[in-house]
A and B are shown apart, each in its own frame.
Chain A
Amino acid sequence: MPGGMAIVGAGQCGARAALTLREHGYDGSVTLIGDELHLPYERPPLSKDVMVSEAEPVPRFVADRQVFADRSIQYLTGTRAIAIDPAARSIRLTDDRTLPYDKLLLATGAAPRRLPLPAADGSRCAYLRTYDDALRIRGAIGAGAHVAILGGGFIGLELAASVRKRGARVTVIETLPRILTRGVPEEIARIIDARHRSEGVDLACGKAVAALRDAAGGVEVVLTDGSVIIADLLLISIGAVPVAGLAEEAGLAIENGIAVDAHLRTSDPDIYAAGDCCSFPLAIYGGRRVRLECWRNAQDQGTLAARNMLGAGESASSVPWLWTDQYELRLQIAGLPDEGKRLVRRDLQDGAFILFHLADDGRLVAASGLGTGNAVAKDVRVAEMLIARRAKPDPAALARPETKLKSLLAA
């Protein structure tokens, strides 16, 4: 009996995969299994628009109900897969059903890293991952509140900007000596740091949480330097961990998430994994294994996994790309900055600039652009193409604003 295609996880990645299967003419059964009750939606607005919109927020859906119905995609909400039987090629679901598959895609995403303190599970602490998490936080960050945010990474800082926009007081606690240590050049982190301080955000770097206690009407955060912050809410944004338990119990290879090859295939040839939950080798960086947690990767890998489930045999070749919005500032990063050994700066209009990250051999390996709105978008996009081509552009040309970056593509 043909089993069709099963997709576990109905975020951007899983939903995109389901739609791609149909776009490529697959006419067997497609089952998309999601543990949330919403239609598949995009997560980037959760820390931003959903927090600050004046109107009642609505999720930004990947596609509406009719689109899934028209394409005969069976979408199961509020359902999880609890076991995979790779030999029988079937999965068992929380509704006790057993679903056979020809090919299975695991797009299980990532979950917030938990703070290992009992009080972190209390009602005055929150993690952000889902739309429902976002609504709950939205309701608690009104003017007059004091919100403490643990973690000076992208999500923590986007939340800080959103909370300020709502008029609440913000204290950000970062364990490391500066914010944005993971993959953001110090030159850019300094500007973002200053921007937060100019909005009145209290940034406490180099301090960790020693203890958490419930306090009257709030939560008491004791830091390692002995200082105490009393906040109405503690937002814990200390990274995410891949959701790989299902794969691990099924005996699939695990390495920083579900290990897949360049075709996004796991150690079982009939099971694929894509998006935040998997690590994969990136050919443009010599096969370096990475795991990416961003919208673009979810979108691209959902598409690629679906194509490969249909036999396309294509390798992941996208250049990593992400953006973060804080206040009017948008940072876009293409490539992997930590592959770079030297920086070349290109100044654009109105204070916007791009840092090009060059490897020892002169190869462009990443570009980090900061500006208002989409001021850096075109140039970062061209940089992305140069990175994909493993180009070694002339550093002087990169630095000179009069040189059109596009002209370097022809070289």
Chain B
Amino acid sequence: MSSNWIEACAADAIEQEDVIRFDHGGRTFAIYRSAEDDYFATDGLCTHEQVHLADGLVMDDIIECPMHNGRFNYRTGEAKGAPVCVNLQTYPVKVEAGKVLVQLD
């Protein structure tokens, strides 16, 4: 496993229970902040049709695709039913000195 932690954003750049887009190395990711101030990261595009999840709504542990309402648990990446059936890739996240760091392998 690599120890390649990438700085994604400032911790306070994301509102509580919300998500932002983070592009790195030609790929796009979604970085989440839960209502309890825990941080998470997943691939940025919905697995149903290439739509940026960061434009979707976060409610509790769920990110919902803005176009077709595909729902995923952003903590685990689990797809929650039609139209999405493929889980999202998740990535380890830590917060250090007010920065959100993501481990992209």
- The chain A residues found within 8 Å of chain B, CB to CB, are 16, 19-20, 23, 60, 62, 295-296, 299, 303, 323, 373-375, 377-378, 381-382, 404, 406
Closest CB-CB distance, A152 to chain B, in whole Å? 24
User: A377-B56, A382-B57 known; A60 and B49 CB under 8 Å?
Assistant: yes
Stretch in contact with the other chain, from B6-14, B61-69, B72-80, B94-102: B61-69
Task: Assess whether B64 is in contact with A295, with CB atoms less than 8 Å apart.
Answer: no
Per CB-CB distance, the 9 closest pairs between chain A and chain B, nearest first, are: A374-B55, A377-B66, A381-B57, A374-B66, A377-B55, A378-B57, A16-B82, A382-B57, A377-B56
Q: List 30 A-B contacts (CB under 8 A).
A: A16-B82, A20-B82, A62-B83, A296-B68, A296-B69, A299-B68, A299-B82, A299-B83, A303-B82, A373-B55, A374-B51, A374-B52, A374-B56, A374-B66, A374-B67, A375-B55, A377-B55, A377-B57, A377-B66, A377-B67, A378-B55, A378-B56, A378-B57, A378-B66, A381-B56, A381-B57, A381-B64, A382-B57, A404-B15, A406-B17
Task: Assess whether B82 is in contact with A19, with CB atoms less than 8 Å apart.
Answer: yes
Return chain B residues, CB-CB under 8 Å to A373: 55
Give the interface SS of chain B, mostly helix, strand, loop or mixed: loop
Residues of B13-28 whose CB lies within 8 A of A:
15, 17
Return chain A residues, CB-CB under 8 Å to B69: 296
- The chain B residues found within 8 Å of chain A, CB to CB, are 15, 17, 49, 51-52, 55-57, 64, 66-69, 81-83
Bound complex: CA A20 to CA B81 (Å): 10
Closest CB-CB distance, B102 to chain A, in whole Å? 22
- How many contacting A-B pairs (Cβ < 8 A)? 39
Closest CB-CB distance, A173 to chain B, in whole Å? 30
Closest CB-CB distance, B48 to chain A, in whole Å? 9
Closest CB-CB distance, A350 to chain B, in whole Å? 13
For A12, give the chain B residue with the smallest CB separation: B83
Return chain B residues, CB-CB under 8 Å to A375: 55
Return chain A residues, CB-CB under 8 Å to B56: 374, 377-378, 381
Bound complex: CA A373 to CA B56 (Å): 12
Bound complex: CA A406 to CA B69 (Å): 17
For B53, give the chain A residue with the smallest CB separation: A374
Bound complex: CA A60 to CA B69 (Å): 17
Name, among B52, B55, B81, the residue most crowded by chain A CB atoms within 10 Å (CB to CB). Answer: B55
Bound complex: CA A256 to CA B64 (Å): 33
Return chain B residues, CB-CB under 8 Å to A303: 82
Bound complex: CA A20 to CA B56 (Å): 24
Return chain A residues, CB-CB under 8 Å to B55: 373-375, 377-378
Return chain A residues, CB-CB under 8 Å to B51: 374
Return chain B residues, CB-CB under 8 Å to A323: 67
Closest CB-CB distance, B28 to chain A, in whole Å? 13
Bound complex: CA A404 to CA B16 (Å): 11
Task: Assess whether B66 is in contact with A381, with CB atoms less than 8 Å apart.
Answer: yes
Closest CB-CB distance, A195 to chain B, in whole Å? 21
Closest CB-CB distance, A65 to chain B, in whole Å? 15
Extra pairs beyond A299-B83, A377-B67 (9, CB < 8 Å): A20-B82, A62-B83, A295-B68, A375-B55, A377-B56, A377-B66, A378-B57, A382-B57, A406-B17
Closest CB-CB distance, B17 to chain A, in whole Å? 7
Return chain A residues, CB-CB under 8 Å to B82: 16, 19-20, 23, 299, 303
Name, among B56, B66, B81, the residue most crowded by chain A CB atoms within 10 Å (CB to CB). Answer: B66
Return chain A residues, CB-CB under 8 Å to B57: 377-378, 381-382
Return chain A residues, CB-CB under 8 Å to B67: 323, 374, 377
Bound complex: CA A374 to CA B53 (Å): 10
